[in-house]
Amino acid sequence: MSELNHPNRRALLKTGGAVAASLPIAGFAQAGGSDEIKVALIGCGGRGRGAATQTLNVPGTKLVAVADAFRDNAEKALKGLKERFKERVDVPAERVFDGFDGYRGAIDSADVVILTTSPGFRPQHFEYAVQQGKHVFMEKPVATDAPGIRKVLAAAKEADKKNLKVVCGLQRRYQEKYIQTKEQVDKGVIGDINFGQVYWNGGGVWVRKRTEGQSEMEYQMRNWYYFNWLCGDHIVEQHVHNIDVMNWFKGGPPVKAQGMGGREVRVGEDFGEIFDHHYVEFTFADGSVMNSQCRHQRGAMNRVTEIIGCQKGKAYPGRIVDAAGNTVWRFAGKGNDPYQTEHDVLYQHIRDDKPINNAYYTAASTMTAILGRMATYSGKELQYDQALASEISLMPEVFDWDADPGPKAGADGLYPAPIPGKHKVV
pLDDT digits (tens, 9 = 90+) for 326-354: 999 999 999 999 999 999 999 999 999 99
Dump pLDDT digits (tens) for 220-237: 999 999 999 999 999 999
Quick one: average pLDDT of 252-272? 97
What does the pLDDT read at residue 90? 98
* Superfamily of the domain at 177-328+367-388: Dihydrodipicolinate Reductase; domain 2 (3.30.360.10)
Q: 26: exposed, middle or buried (C-beta count within 10 Å: 0-12, 13-18, 19+)?
A: exposed
168: nearest Cα among 373, 363, 1, 23: 363
- pTM for the model: 0.93
Question: pLDDT band for position 8 (50/70/90)?
Answer: very low
Residues 172 and 244 sit within 8 Å (Cβ to Cβ)? yes
Residue 191 has pLDDT above 60, yes or no: yes
Task: List, by residue range, all CATH 3.30.360.10 domains of the chain.
Answer: 177-328+367-388
Is the pLDDT higher at 79 or at 4? 79
pLDDT at 25 over 50: no
CA distance 71 to 98: 5
In percent, the amount of the chain with pLDDT more than 70 equals: 92
- Tell me the mean pLDDT in the region 401-408: 98
Mean pLDDT confidence for 92-121? 98
CATH fold for the domain made of 2-173+338-356: Rossmann fold (3.40.50)
- Percentage, residues of the chain above pLDDT 90: 92
User: Mean pLDDT over residues 252-256, rounded?
Assistant: 98
Q: Is the pLDDT of residue 27 over 80?
A: no
> What's the average model confidence in pLDDT over 163-177?
98
Q: Where in the chain is the domain with CATH 3.40.50.720?
A: 2-173+338-356
Predicted pLDDT at 385:
98
Whether the pLDDT of residue 290 is over 80: the answer is yes
Q: Mean pLDDT, to the nearest integer, of 166-181?
A: 98
Q: How high is the mean pLDDT of the chain? A: 93
Instruction: Kindly indicate the confidence band of residue 35, based on its pLDDT and cuts at 50, 70 and 90.
Output: confident
What are the tens digits of pLDDT across the range 37-78? 999 999 999 999 999 999 999 999 999 999 999 999 999 999
pLDDT digits (tens, 9 = 90+) for 201-223: 999 999 999 999 999 999 999 99
pLDDT for the residue numbered 53? 98
pLDDT bucket at 22, cuts 50 / 70 / 90: very low
pLDDT at 34 (0 to 100): 58
What are the C-alpha distances in Å from 208 to residues 83, 218, 286, 363?
A: 27, 11, 44, 29
